[in-house]
Amino acid sequence: MSNLTASLPEAAVTLRAAAPLTLPPFRLNLMRGGFLLMAVGLAVVKWPLLLHAASLPAIEGAMLCILTAVSLLAFLGLRYPIAMLPILMFEVLWKVLWFAIVALPHLIANDLDAPTESLLFRNLFVIPIIAVTPWDFVWKRYVRTRGERWTRIR
């Protein structure tokens, strides 16, 4: 054991010795496809609206800016798919929540209005994102792996 390793606490050595989680290239490229779909789709639909963002109601302007930021982060996901994985997770989670809490009750009651129906159709583009997200990796990385320390190592 080197001098540096000997001076580290045992827990730090154990953490460092653990193999980093990684994905095979085909899974990374599938994720890149999902990021590309998100990035280009949002860029085509939302970026032109930025020219008129000041005239939108405040909540619509905020949503436009949030979705524009998501599209920029999705472009970054083309280069760093694992690091930007939480963007895919965010996209899936908010849409699944919207389906369950907003759309499903309207579908069950058979009282879906035109704006909700339109949003329902647009949100179906989350299906490819669900398909390309490596859920086994998400489980290992964000559920099973020990979290980062809250305090410094003494």
pLDDT in tens, 120-146: 999 999 999 999 999 999 999 999 999
pLDDT of residue 27: 96
Q: Is 44:52 a contact under the CB 8 Å cutoff?
A: no
- 137's CB contacts (< 8 A; 6+ apart) are 21, 23, 27, 85
Is pLDDT above 50 for 46? yes
Question: Rounded to 5 degrees, what are φ and ψ at 118?
Answer: -65, -45
Among 50-59, 114-123, 145-154, the range scoring the smallest mean pLDDT is: 145-154
pLDDT of residue 13: 47
Question: Which tokens in the block code for residue 118?
Answer: 């339109």
Distance of CA 118 to the CA centre of its chain: 23
pLDDT of residue 17: 46
Mean pLDDT of 50-70: 95
Q: Where are the alpha helices (DSSP H) in 1-142?
A: 3-7, 10-17, 25-46, 58-79, 85-98, 104-109, 114-123, 126-132, 135-139
Comparison of pLDDT for 85 and 15, the residue scoring more:
85
Q: What are the domain boundaries of the chain?
A: 24-144
Q: Is 64:53 a contact under the CB 8 Å cutoff?
A: yes
Distance of CA 30 to the CA centre of its chain: 14
Question: Which tokens in the block code for residue 125?
Answer: 């583009």
